[in-house]
Amino acid sequence: TKRKTTKRKTTKRKTTKRKTTKRKTTKRKAKRSTPKKPRYSLLITQSQRNSRDFKVQVLKNGKVAGEPKKIAASKISATASGIINYARRKRVNLAKAWDSVA
- Predicted pLDDT at 65: 83
pLDDT attached to residue 1: 64
pLDDT along the chain (102 residues), means of 10: 70 73 71 79 85 87 85 86 90 85 70
pLDDT at 28: 72
pTM above 0.75, yes or no: no
> How many residues in the chain?
102
**Torsion sign over Cα 61, 64, 69, 73:** positive
Give dist(CA 100, CA 90) in Å, integer.
11
